[in-house]
Amino acid sequence: MTGSSTGQNGSGDDGNPNPPTSGVLPAGPSADVHGQGAPPETFHRDDDGRPQNLTISDRFVHFLGTLGAMVRKRVWFLLIMLGTSWGVLRESLRSNTWRRTVRYEFQQTLATVAGRGLLSTVVMGALTGVGVVSQAIYWLGFAGMAKMTGSVLVTVIVRELAPILVGILMLGRSGMLSLAEVGMMTTGGQVRSMQAEGLDPFLLLVVPRTLAFTVAGFTLGIMFSLSSLTTGYVISRASGALSNSLLSFYYDVVTAMTSADYLLIPLKFIVVGFLVGLGCCIGGLTASNEDSIATMLPRGFTRGMLIVMTVSVLFSLKL
C-alpha cells in the first residue's frame, strides 16, 4: 500500500484589491442597462465579468436566458415528471430491472394501494351510486329521457367522475404515504445510503411503486364504476324508478359506450394511477434538507390534485 497527500489548497493570493467606490462605477445609460433584467443566480454565473457595452444580440441572448431560467424554475416539476415518465416506461421494459427487490417492492405497493384501498373504493362507489346514479336515473325518467340513461351514466360516472375520485382516493390514501416514506428517506439520508450500496432509488422505489399505482388505478377505477352503477341500479329499482333487470341495465350502459370509450376510459384510469404514483415518489425523492412532513405533504397533495384534474381535463378534450 502506498499513499500520499499534498496539502495544496489552490487558494491564490488575489492581492486584496481595493473595493470599488460609487464614484468609480461608470455612470450613464450603459450602467443602467447592465443592471436591468439581471438573470437569476442559476443562469450565467459569470455575468460580473462580462463587458458592459453589450450589443443588441448579446442583450437578446441575455433576455432569452432570463426568460428560460424563469420558465425552467416554474415548470421544473413538470419537466422532471416528463423525464421520469419516460424513464419508468423505459426501465420497466428491461428484463434486468425486474430483480427480486423490485418485484418485492411492486408486490408490497400493489397490495397496499389496490388491496387495502379496495374497500374504500367500493364504499365510495356505492355512495356515488346512491347520490349520483340513482338521482340521474330518477330525473332522466322524470324528464322522459330514460333512453339516455346509459349514455349519461357512461359520460358522467365512468368517464368523468370515476377517474377523478379514484385518483383522489389513491392520492390521499396511498400517494401521501408514499410521498412521506420516500421524502423522509431522502431527508434522513437513507436514500444516500442506498446509493452507496448500489441500490438505485429510482429503480428500487420509483419504478415499482409507479407501476403498482398504474395497475391499481385501473383496478380501482373498474371496481368504482361497477360499485357505483350497481348501487345506483339497486336504489333506483327499490324506489321504483327502474323496472328492468340488472343485466338489461348494464346492457344499456355498455351499448351507450363508443368504441373509443373502450380504449380511452381504461387509459384514463391507467394514466391517472401512473402519474399520481410517479408524482408522489418524485415529490419525495426531490425533497431538500429544509423540507419536512409539514412542507412535503401539502405540496404533494396540491401537485397530486393538479395531476388528477389535468389528466381528466386533457382526456375530456380528446373525448
Partner 1 sequence: MNRLGGPLLELTEATPAFDESSLPPVPFTLRVMAGECVVIECRDMSRATMFADLCSGMVHLNHGTARFMGMNWTELDDRHRNALRGRIGRITRRPIWTDLFGTHVSIMIKQLHHTTVSIEDLTTETLHLSEQFGLPGIPTETPRRLSDADIVRSACVRAFLGQPQMMLIEDPLETSPVDLSQPFFECLTAARDRGAAVVWFVRDSSVWQPYRKAVSALWRLADDGLLTVRRR
Residue number with CB closer to partner 1 (76 or 104): 104
* Positions 46 through 75 that interact with partner 1 (CB under 8 A): none
Interface with partner 1 (CB under 8 A), residue from 60, 63, 76, 104: 104
Residue number with CB closer to partner 1 (53 or 195): 195
304: Cβ contacts below 8 Å, ≥ 6 apart = 167, 171, 175, 176, 276, 279, 280
CB of 198 to partner 1, least distance (A): 3
CB of 76 to partner 1, least distance (A): 20
Interface with partner 1 (CB under 8 A), residue from 20, 100, 259, 290: 100
Residue number with CB closer to partner 1 (156 or 177): 177
Give the C-alpha separation, 206 to 200, whole Å.
10
CB of 197 to partner 1, least distance (A): 5
DSSP state of 28: S
CA 145 to chain centre: 39
Interface with partner 1 (CB under 8 A), residue from 4, 22, 55, 95: 4
Q: Does 1 bind partner 1 (CB under 8 A)?
A: yes
Interface with partner 1 (CB under 8 A), residue from 30, 42, 52, 101: 101
* Positions 11 through 30 that interact with partner 1 (CB under 8 A): none
Give the C-alpha separation, 270 to 163, whole Å.
9
Considering Cα of 96, then 98, then 101, then 105, what sign does the dihedral take?
positive
Interface with partner 1 (CB under 8 A), residue from 9, 16, 57, 243: 9
Q: Does 6 bind partner 1 (CB under 8 A)?
A: yes
For residues 19-46, one letter each, b for 16 or more C-beta atoms within 10 angstroms of the residue's C-beta and e for the rest, the string is eeeeeeeeeeeeeeebeeeebeeebbee
Residue number with CB closer to partner 1 (113 or 311): 113
User: Residues binding partner 1: what is the number (CB under 8 A)?
Assistant: 30
Give the C-alpha separation, 94 to 99, whole Å.
10
Give the C-alpha separation, 128 to 202, whole Å.
37
- Tell me which residue has cell 381528466: 312
CB of 181 to partner 1, least distance (A): 6
For residues 248-270, one letter each, b for 16 or more C-beta atoms within 10 angstroms of the residue's C-beta and e for the rest, the string is ebeebbeebbeeebeebbebbbb
| Contact criterion met (CB below 8 Å) for 217 and 274 | yes
- The secondary element (H helix, E strand) that includes residue 263 is helix 259-285
Interface with partner 1 (CB under 8 A), residue from 50, 72, 73, 99: 99
DSSP 54-108: --HHHHHHHHHHHHHHHHHHHHHHHHHHHHHHHHHHHHHT-GGG--HHHHHHHHH
Of the listed pieces 60-68, 69-77, 111-119, 183-191, which binds partner 1 according to CB under 8 A? Answer: 183-191
CB of 90 to partner 1, least distance (A): 13
| Contact criterion met (CB below 8 Å) for 268 and 284 | no
* Positions 186 through 225 that interact with partner 1 (CB under 8 A): 188-190, 192-193, 195-200, 204
CB of 104 to partner 1, least distance (A): 8
Residue number with CB closer to partner 1 (182 or 311): 182
Amino acid occupying residue 288: S
Binding site for partner 1 (CB under 8 A): 1-10, 96, 99-102, 104, 181, 185, 188-190, 192-193, 195-200, 204
